[in-house]
Amino acid sequence: MKSLFKSKPKTPVELVRLTRELLIFVDTDSTTKGTKRDEKMAELGKLMRDLKCILYGNSDSEPLAEACAQLTQEFFKQNTLRLIIICLPKLNLETRKDATQVVANLQRQQVQSRLIASDYLESNKDLMDILISGYENMDLALHYGAMLRECIRHQIIARYVLESEHMKKFFDFIQLPNFDIASDASATFKELLTRHKSTVADFLTKNYDWFFAEYNGKLLESSNYIIRRQSVKLLGDMLLDRSNSPVMMKYVCSKDNLRILMNLLREQSRNIPLEAFHVFKLFAANQNKPPEIVGILVANRSKLLRFFSEFKIDKEDEQFEADKAQVIKEIVALEPKDRS
């Protein structure tokens, strides 16, 4: 008889509506205290777990496309995403984790072949301001950072962040003393500068001067080994991408940039000189080297040739050896140019 009175499972739409109601309570109610508030927070935690279960499935079942579509549609009908982001500081740790996973998953959910999260965020770009400012809060940084990286999968949102004043803050976030938060900010920074090729190329072209001044000074010349290693690797990824060819040509015509790369080549670690080599070879390969670049390479020719003759990597790599041989050939063939 007991089974007759079992409550019927809530539909995805009902779960979203109940979650929204409780989030509004969390956001607006400042009078309810004690046991009653604890009960509401526990109920919200359970609802968030249920939403996550629909989107990700569980050990017994895979997620159902229809249920995911219903949940996604209801979620973005009203301001449920805004409420989650605003209320996150008031949620307990487990609910924050579940909420972060729910928000992340919803960025990829399609409804009738449309990413409706992208449409919603296009009209609510100010939410990115909240997520980015989360890097300044140790308790929220990793949750907001994970949400932010999923949101910038949408090109229009990545463009908003790239073109905002927030981009300058990433150079400071990456240097934060908390390793986990700095690493998270670095992952977001890399995503912004590599995912959407045409948007990135446009950003780097328009913002070349201030961006690379910050990049060189704060990242490539950082006193922190990990920052230098990650930054020289990312620099190579950016400059070797065909979409960024005009930016690369401008970069390799700067004697200050060459000086920085030559210093990175001399580092004692194994990783940084290898990544620096992938950028340095672009300076060597440039067939229109300015006189000052030629002058530096000629002045340091014997040191460079000695360095490259001993420059090895752990495993055999035909491409590396071919690149190195080409760099040596270019340096040997250099003739000083008239600077006039």
Alpha-carbon distance of 92 to 81, in angstroms, equals 17
pLDDT at position 5 is 54
The tens digit of pLDDT for each residue in 88-147 reads 999 999 999 999 999 999 999 999 889 999 999 999 999 999 999 999 999 999 999 999
Alpha-carbon distance of 289 to 128, in angstroms, equals 41
Q: How far from the centroid of its chain's Cα atoms is residue 110's Cα?
A: 22
Nearest to 257 by CA among 226, 229, 219: 219
pLDDT confidence of 338, banded at 50, 70, 90?
low
Name the E strands within 223-304: none
pLDDT confidence of 1, banded at 50, 70, 90?
very low
**Which two structure tokens, joined as six digits, stand for 59?**
């050990």
- Residue 239 reports pLDDT greater than 70: yes
The tens digit of pLDDT for each residue in 173-204 reads 999 999 999 999 999 999 999 999 999 999 99
**Which two structure tokens, joined as six digits, stand for 315?**
């495993």
What's the mean pLDDT in 35-59? 92
Q: What is the mean pLDDT of the chain?
A: 93
